[in-house]
Amino acid sequence: MVSSTTDYLCLLNRMCLFNSPIFILYLLCAWLRRLTINFIYFSLKGICTLGPRDVVDVMQNVNTFLNENPSEVIIFIYEVNNDVDEQVDLNLFYDKLLQVDGLVDKMYVHDDPDNPWPTLRELTDPGFDKRIIMFHYNGPDCNNDPSACPDGLHLYYNYASDNNWSNNNVASIENRTNSCELRSNGINRNTFVGLNNFVSPPSQNSAQILNGYSDANDYVNTCSSMIGEDINFLLVDYWSEGELPRFTQDHNTARALQRRGRKLLRTEPTQR
């Protein structure tokens, strides 16, 4: 999928507000610039907060980061969590986003799951400048009730597939025959492919193993080969454990060189 945002593997920290000692702004600033796409994971409660922090405060920090880093794109994947026994209203969440001056203007809106996604270059073009992509799952069904999902808050499984997220030990993830198999929920497409690389309940000791360079490299390459798709999202706990930023940078560099080589082969004149 050369013409889409899926040209890069994105390192996604699954629960940065809950089991990682890194705050939002520091998390963003810690990424290597070559990662290109960053990810923040929140639990979106019915009371419309992002974990223990206020939505407006968090997104103001995000907006400031993007203003100061015009070549960056951020992907959010929200798990809508109803464990407070209150119905989540994404329109109320969107109203919070509108309180951050200039934030909603940066949100990309994909109008049809069947249409191709823009490239990173297109997203970061100053004339376009749509550098926030938002997904959500476990919440309102946008397919049955489009009014429940404001523009720019895309239903994740309309665009993505992933593997099993319920692993209680490292061995179950290292069993690639099982861990590389993608789940089907009836609506998902393979525009984006995510690999869950964490155990439940969260374990920092397990993260030290799973987030190691060689383990992450084997996981991504093996699963990519088995399913015949590039891996786009690597979802992890405790991103600062292991060598994930370096692995992601190396992986993206190798992928870019490989595709550049294929492009050169297509454009070179035929030798007579």
Distance CA 58, CA 257 (A): 36
Check if the beta carbon of residue 28 is closer than 8 Å to that of residue 65. yes
| pTM, two decimal places | 0.81
pLDDT of residue 84: 54
Percent of the chain topping pLDDT 70 = 72
55-68 and 90-98 helices, crossing angle to 10°: 50
Q: Given CATH 3.40.1350, say whether it is the number of domain 5-267.
A: no
- Kindly indicate the confidence band of residue 48, based on its pLDDT and cuts at 50, 70 and 90: very low
pLDDT of residue 34: 33
Start-to-end C-alpha separation, the chain? 32
Beta strands in the chain, from DSSP E residues, in sequence order: 10-13, 37-40, 43-44, 73-80, 132-137, 153-155, 160-162, 192-197, 233-236
- Kindly indicate the confidence band of residue 88, based on its pLDDT and cuts at 50, 70 and 90: confident
